[in-house]
Amino acid sequence: MHQSLIRESTFRRLKWLIIVVILCSSSLVLAHGVAEGDAAFIEGNTGVQVIPFIYLGAKHMVSGYDHLLFLFGVIFFLYRMKDIAIYVSLFAVGHSITLLWGVLNSTQVSPYIVDAIIGVSVVYKGFDNLGGFKKLLGYQPNTKAAVLIFGFFHGFGLATKLQDFTLSEDGLVANIVAFNIGVEIGQLLALSAILILMGYWRRTPAFQRYAFTSNGILMCLGFMLMGYQLTGYFVN
């Protein structure tokens, strides 16, 4: 009887895991998309447009599910604000450097490969939160270095989307810096919402009960993003 209840409970968890993955997948694969109206503004813009580009940067980060999934994984087991600030700052430094460098120096990289690596970053964080490195490899990578390095790739992911458009040289530096400021504002807004929700969740018994499942879902979504982008790379 007891074993039957355990199997039934496990089946229910797996069922919900599959449902959540399917519901999230369609949004996830479009995580870097730029809205048609925003794209028209970017291509038609001339001169310095600080406020609009701050808005576009914030909007892109808030709707960038892959970035948010990685941040969610990074802070999942961080309880002190000091630790959260350190890791989020490392991520911000990483993606700011490559966003600015990629656009201003016209550094061309395959968006499919970059987004696939971003998928790897999501898988990595879920696996790390599950203690997979210590359990399977007996080794724990430097988590701060990993967040910084993956931050570089997230920045290139942002840059590749801007490089899809013809950007006016008039006011380019100011506009890209404004876009990056917007990205940081969007990151802080999204992070604040995540921390508030997690603060409530952590005070319930459900947090410890579903911590394993949550990070399993995180890994599944990362694999789906990675697979989708690699398929696009080989097909297109």
pLDDT tens for the 236 residues of the chain, in order? 445 544 445 445 544 544 444 445 444 444 455 555 666 666 667 778 888 889 989 988 888 888 999 999 999 999 999 999 999 999 999 999 999 999 998 888 899 999 999 999 999 999 999 999 999 888 899 999 999 999 999 999 989 888 877 777 888 899 899 999 999 999 999 999 999 999 999 999 889 888 999 999 999 999 999 999 999 999 97
Q: Within 10 A of 4 (CB to CB), how many other CB atoms are there? A: 8
Q: Which of 79, 99, 231 is nearest to 173 (CA)?
A: 99
Q: How far apart are CA 49 and CA 47, in angstroms?
A: 6
Question: 130-154 burial, b if ≥16 CB within 10 A, otherwise e?
Answer: beeeeeeeeeeeebeebbbebbbbb
Both tokens of 97, joined, read 């450097």
Side chain identity, residue 206 = A
pTM to 2 decimals?
0.84
Q: How far apart are CA 74 and CA 89, in angstroms?
A: 12
CA distances (Å), 93 to each of 46, 184, 205, in order? 28, 10, 35
Domain boundaries, the chain: 2-30+53-235
